[in-house]
A and B are shown apart, each in its own frame.
Chain A
Amino acid sequence: DSGVTQTPKHLITATGQRVTLRCSPRSGDLSVYWYQQSLDQGLQFLIQYYNGEERAKGNILERFSAQQFPDLHSELNLSSLELGDSALYFCASSVDPGRHNEQFFGPGTRLTVL
């Protein structure tokens, strides 16, 4: 158990809908990262937050957004969902993103868009 929690574990929804994925980092970790894992794209970095502020953006679509709250939990919002958004979404956390610390991954949320 990495100490990173993600909810829900599974999510099934329809095209055009909006969903919210939630992540709680390990105790003491200030940095949260979101990744998308799909068969055709592999593991893609989406976005990073550090202590409530956006730090880095990767291959995140404009339909997707995220935030990190004062209690350090983070939410990833996916809107106007398309079939191609079906994937595993992982959250990871680390102590300090600038010190090459390893990231600890949550169990993921499997999103299925029908």
Chain B
Amino acid sequence: AQSVAQPEDQVNVAEGNPLTVKCTYSVSGNPYLFWYVQYPNRGLQFLLKYITGDNLVKGSYGFEAEFNKSQTSFHLKKPSALVSDSALYFCAVSGFSGSARQLTFGSGTQLTVLP
């Protein structure tokens, strides 16, 4: 079975500074990894995914993620944080459960960008 760990419940960063939200995964076979963001009282929004190819994946709103196979990590990054980036971020891995593929989500990291 696949799993995802987000070791930090809360990340605080000053506006304009770079941000990193950490994610490590465990899955049999090739990893297919996703990042989603959830704003208050909203559903999850897709940010980016890694399926294959370049280890640096670029996504929406200036976010990118770095896939590291040896460290089984998929950290989310942004060079310069905005106050509007404050939200709950989820990492997810796609893997088989029985005969069907499904997403397994991490516990989420609350990002707060301070003005």
Binding site for B on A (CB under 8 A): 2, 4, 33, 42-43, 45, 48, 55-56, 58, 90, 92, 97-98, 100, 102-108
Decide: B102 and A90 in contact? CB cutoff 8 A: no
Given the contacts A43-B105, A102-B49, A107 and B42 also touching, CB distance less than 8 Å: yes
Residues of chain A lying within 8 A (CB to CB) of residue B104: 45
Q: Which of A43, A56, A102, A107 contacts B102 (CB 8 A)?
A: A56
Q: List 7 A-B contacts (CB under 8 A).
A: A2-B45, A45-B103, A45-B104, A56-B97, A56-B100, A90-B43, A100-B32
With A56-B102, A97-B100 in contact, is A43–B108 under 8 Å at CB?
yes
Within the assembled complex, what's the spacing in Å between the Cα atoms of A104 and B42? 12
Q: Which of B43, B100, B104, B106 counts the most A-chain CB atoms under 10 A from its CB?
A: B43
Closest 3 CB pairs of A and B: A56-B100, A105-B43, A102-B46
* B63 contacts the other chain (CB 8 A): no
Q: B34 near A: Cβ within 8 Å? A: yes
Are B43's CB and A107's CB within 8 A? Answer: yes
* CB of B25 closer than 8 Å to a CB of A: no
Known A-B contacts A2-B45, A103-B103, A105-B45; the reply to A56 vs B108 at CB < 8 A is no
- Is B73 close to A, CB under 8 A? no
